[in-house]
């Protein structure tokens, strides 16, 4: 470790004194923390271009004054317990008042924005979190095999910069997968690999949003999207949703530059946008000159019938950007997603991505590409769909067993459902807090779950329950605990 010491050979102070004072100030200022190893005297002497004896004399003095500690046969370290005079000096440095004229008035940071509210830190016996998947379902053995195989053939990939747009092999298999699974016909050049869907949203916003740009979103919508658009100083326009998803008739007739929508499984209410509305939505975008971000965050998990063709698969006008992620199918920790852009935006999107970063970890991309190409990804998805379908059915059955007739939405696909409460129940936020006190996580619409503009008919009386991270035993036990918590509750 090189220590930042600069010697002035023209100074009247000796070299030994300069080294001593600079090391002492590094320790007092906390830059060399207690327990930090100090370079050997020979190493520091070579770094500074001075004699070893000079450095040895400095070390001896620092040890004698209690700044350093020599450990026989191990090395020299910053003392774990600095002398009282040293601590007093450190306090004087920290509390000293700057000289008049020294303080600089810094400009206001132009960034605005907020991160999504965190879930409660307390331990929950049963957490029906809507955005978590089951760790036990990750294909550990086969993934490890593909990593080893890919690593063995790595050649020079670890010493070269990646294509900012993503590894070509991964972009090719994603394009092929989308053609089969979502009816989207695109080239690999239109696919850009991102660090999850949030970076894809950031990239789209970077391309299309400036101060005052009108951006429409569903109400309620994904919190991460609304907060991101606000950070670019967009003006958000809420559009109501009903049992068929986004109400296209409520969209502004002009002025909107961008629309963010989750048509396959509306987040968080779970409604599916039917084909008629999809076609109307595309016609609206054509007439208004707007772009659409289609967030298809969990469309791999459809349990009833064939999946509807994605908006981008129906788009003949080049107005849809398709956002996909492996977070729901593989795990959020992998940090792999993708943004598919219309051909007209390809060059701008690749340039903007290069400014964000120089690409992602080669090994993860290459492993994912082989995982998909081999057919293992398709097998993995079929297994997860089967298990998650059983867990969804288990949750529905348990709710009906304990609460009778329940009004649910989002059953056709996805990893969570919405429970629309009867009018004689307390509001969802009160039930969330009550369940939380009994060690169960259920979620109302609001901070931590979704962005609510305050005009949504569903917000006050809807609970969100995820079923992907709990097994069937846990689901039954969790719903039973909810029923016990609600027992004796006075209904309005």
Query: pLDDT tens for residues 343-356?
Result: 999 999 999 999 98
Beta bridge partners of 440: 126
Asked if 239 contacts 217 with a C-beta cutoff of 8 angstroms, the reply is yes
Res. 94: pLDDT tops 60: no
Alpha helices in 96-237 (DSSP H): 140-152, 168-181, 196-208, 223-231
Domains of the chain, start order = 15-95 (1.10.10.10), 126-134+379-486 (3.90.1150.10), 139-376 (3.40.640.10)
pTM metric for this prediction: 0.81
Q: Quote the percentage of the chain above a pLDDT of 70.
A: 92
Predicted local confidence at residue 98, as pLDDT: 55
Give the separation between CA 324 and CA 322, rounded to whole angstroms.
7
Helical (H) or strand (E) element with 239: strand 235-242
User: Which of these ranges, 27-41, 81-95, 135-149, has the smallest mean pLDDT?
Assistant: 81-95
* Structure token pair of residue 54: 């000079």
Least-confidence region, from 92-101, 161-170, 250-259, 451-460: 92-101
* Confidence category of residue 89, pLDDT binned at 50, 70, 90: low
Comparing CA positions, the residue from 259, 304, 301, 298 lying closest to residue 280 is: 259
- Higher pLDDT: 29 or 370? It is 370
Q: Taking phi first (over 0 means left), then psi (-120 to 50 degrees means alpha), and beta for anything else, what does residue 196 get?
A: left
Beta bridge partners of 76: 38, 70
Burial class from Cβ neighbours inside 10 Å (0-12, 13-18, 19+) for residue 82 reads: middle
pLDDT class of 178 with cuts at 50, 70, 90: very high
Is residue 317 within 8 Å of residue 344, measured between CB atoms? no
CB 177 within 8 A of CB 169: no
pLDDT per residue over 407-429, tens digit each? 999 999 999 999 999 998 999 99
Quick one: residue 459, left, alpha or beta (phi over 0 = left, psi -120 to 50 = alpha)? alpha
Question: HSE on the CB side for 374, CA within 13 Å?
Answer: 16
Residue 90's pLDDT is 52
Choose among 238, 323, 243, 246: nearest CA to 279: 246
Taking only the tens place, the pLDDT of each residue in 372-381 is 999 999 999 9
The yes-or-no verdict on residue 175 having pLDDT over 60 is: yes
Bigger pLDDT: 155 vs 409: 409
Three-class SS state of 180: helix
Q: What is the DSSP string of 51-84?
A: -HHHHHHHHHHHHHTTSEEEETTTEEEE-SS--H
**Alpha helices (H) along 65-137:** 84-95
> Is residue 432 predicted with pLDDT exceeding 60?
yes
Residue 82: the pLDDT is 77
Segment among 84-98, 213-227, 342-356, 475-489 with least mean pLDDT: 84-98
In the predicted structure, residue 137 carries a pLDDT above the cut 70: yes
Q: In what order do the strands lie in the sheet with 75-78?
A: 37-38, 75-78, 68-71
Question: In the chain, what is the straight-line distance between the N-terminal and C-terminal CA atoms, in Å?
Answer: 68
**CA–CA dist 427, 446 (Å, integer):** 12
Determine the pLDDT at residue 307: 75
| pLDDT the model gives residue 110 | 79
* More confident call, 207 vs 109: 207
Higher pLDDT, 255 or 85: 255
- Structure confidence at residue 84 (pLDDT): 57
Q: Tell how far CA 259 is from the center of its chain.
A: 21
Q: Given pLDDT bands bounded at 50, 70 and 90, which one contains residue 60?
A: very high
- CA-nearest of 312, 274, 279, 310 to 412 is 274
């Amino acid at each position: 470790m090189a220590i930042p010491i600069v010697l002035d050979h023209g100074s009247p102070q000796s070299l030994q004194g300069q080294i001593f004072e600079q090391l002492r100030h590094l320790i007092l200022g906390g830059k060399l923390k207690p327990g930090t190893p100090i370079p050997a005297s020979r190493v520091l002497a070579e770094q500074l271009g001075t004699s070893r004896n000079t450095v040895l004399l400095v070390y001896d003095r620092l040890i004698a004054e209690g700044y350093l500690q020599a450990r026989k046969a191990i090395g020299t370290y910053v003392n774990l317990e600095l002398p009282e005079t040293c601590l007093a000096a450190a306090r004087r440095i920290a509390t000293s008042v700057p000289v008049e004229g020294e303080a600089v008035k810094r400009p206001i940071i132009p960034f605005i924005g907020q991160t999504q509210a965190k879930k409660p830190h307390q331990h929950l016996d049963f957490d029906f979190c809507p955005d978590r998947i089951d760790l036990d379902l990750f294909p550990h053995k086969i993934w490890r095999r593909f990593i080893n195989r890919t690593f063995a053939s790595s050649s020079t990939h670890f010493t070269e910069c990646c294509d900012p747009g993503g590894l070509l092999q991964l972009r090719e298999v994603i394009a092929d997968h989308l053609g089969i699974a979502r009816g989207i016909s695109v080239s690999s050049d239109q696919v850009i690999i991102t660090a999850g869907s949030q970076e894809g949203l950031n990239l789209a916003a970077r391309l299309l949003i400036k101060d005052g740009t009108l951006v429409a979103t569903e109400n309620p919508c994904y919190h991460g999207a609304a907060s991101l658009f606000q950070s670019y100083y967009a003006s958000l326009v809420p559009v109501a949703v009903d049992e068929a998803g986004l109400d296209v008739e409520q969209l502004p007739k002009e002025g909107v530059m961008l629309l963010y929508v989750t048509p396959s499984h509306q987040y968080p209410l779970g409604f599916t946008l039917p084909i008629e509305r999809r076609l109307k939505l595309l016609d609206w975008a054509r007439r208004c000159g707007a772009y659409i971000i289609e967030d298809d965050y969990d469309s791999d998990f459809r349990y009833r019938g064939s999946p509807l063709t994605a908006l981008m698969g129906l788009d003949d006008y080049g107005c849809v950007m398709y956002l996909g992620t492996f977070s729901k199918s593989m795990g959020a920790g992998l940090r792999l997603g993708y943004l598919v852009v219309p051909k007209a935006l390809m060059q701008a999107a690749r340039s903007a991505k290069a400014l964000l970063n120089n690409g992602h970890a080669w090994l993860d991309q290459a492993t994912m590409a082989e995982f998909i190409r081999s057919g293992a990804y398709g097998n993995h998805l079929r297994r997860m769909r089967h298990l998650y379908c059983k867990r969804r059915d288990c949750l529905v059955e348990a709710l009906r067993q304990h609460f009778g007739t329940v009004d649910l939405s989002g059953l056709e696909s996805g990893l969570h459902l919405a429970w629309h409460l009867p009018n004689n129940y307390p509001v969802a936020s009160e039930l969330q807090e009550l369940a939380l006190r009994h060690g169960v996580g259920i979620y109302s619409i609001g901070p931590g779950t979704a962005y609510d503009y305050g005009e949504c008919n569903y917000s006050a009386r809807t609970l969100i329950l995820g079923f992907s991270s709990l097994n069937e035993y846990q689901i039954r036990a969790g719903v039973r605990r909810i029923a016990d918590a609600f027992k004796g509750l006075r209904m309005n």
